[in-house]
Amino acid sequence: MVWAPLVPEKWAANMGELAALFLFAQHRRPEPPAYTPLHMIPTISAAAFGLEPGAETPFGPLHELPSWASRELEVRGMNVPATMLGGATGRDFEHLRDQADRFGCPVLVLEQRLALDLSSSDSSAGSAERMHALAAAAVRLGASHVSVALKANDDEQSLERVGSILREVMAEVEQHELTLMLLPHEGLTNDPDRLMALVKLVGGFRIGIQPSIKHAIAHGGLEATMRRLAPYAASVIADDVKLIPELVELLRGVGYENTIALHPIRAHQLGSWKTMRETFQIALHGESDT
């Protein structure tokens, strides 16, 4: 039997030469880059404007935030405090989600920054119900994460009680495929070691921590604390523009690939947001967007 040539004769006269060509092609294949930049995504922390519904903002009502954030800052996500949604109707939730989808700036984290009281059995029942309500609201908004601040005494009895309550809440959180993050707060969750101990006590892959620059600075220093808390985080709050370059370098060092919520002090000044956004961009890529 005579086999038809697979390639022109001038390229390869036999199978031995074909094999040689294959090896040559493999040798010439470009090498993968030695370093692949990690993806840290800038988002907007709406809590910078205040926590009350109807808070004065440069963009007007809350449903205009996605348009403003996308247009002015070129960010692709929002952390929204639940208190800013106080009094919102089902239609309001739908309108905010529609606007978020339209401008490619979804609500990623629904935040409960006013601490839920878990300091006693009496207060814990209402706080647990609030966490269930937050999970339902996050689903309606299309958010993937809920973060909560908790008020509890820093002792072993409180640690066990809070852990038990959170495990019960986590059943619904996991059912909705959400992630629950703990915001550091005075008391049980203020010290990084205790915060991590609580997360480990609850267990599972859908509970974590939402650290911030200022909290890390006040509790062991930015480098030491952020290196420990970042592996548990799905959102890190950048609330000090001067330390963003150091933050990005630290997070890159631990392999963090998630969101950085920009939270300037002078939130009502567009320039403050743009400075923070540009600082982040330069820290991440070594150059400005502009």
Number of domains in the chain: 1
| Residue entry with tokens 């548990």 | 232
- Helix ranges, 50-209 (H): 65-68, 90-102, 121-141, 156-175, 192-202
User: What CATH number has the domain bearing residue 241?
Assistant: 3.20.20.150
**Could you state, in chain order, the average pLDDT of each consecutive group of 10 residues for the chain (290 residues)?**
43 45 41 51 95 81 95 95 92 96 97 96 93 96 97 96 96 95 97 96 96 97 96 96 97 95 94 96 78
pLDDT at 176: 95
pLDDT at 22: 40
Phi, psi of 206 (to 5 degrees): -115, 25
The helix (H) or strand (E) run that includes residue 216 is helix 213-218
Boundaries of domain holding 53: 41-285
DSSP result, 100-117: HHHTT--EEEEEEEEEEE
pLDDT at 6: 41
- Three-state secondary structure string covering 261-274: EECCCCCCCHHHHH
Q: Is residue 34 domain-resident?
A: no
Q: Is residue 75 domain-resident?
A: yes
Q: Is residue 7 domain-resident?
A: no
* Cβ–Cβ < 8 Å for 184, 195: yes
pLDDT at 92: 94
- What's the token pair of residue 89? 């109707």
Cα(102)–Cα(152) distance, integer angstroms: 40
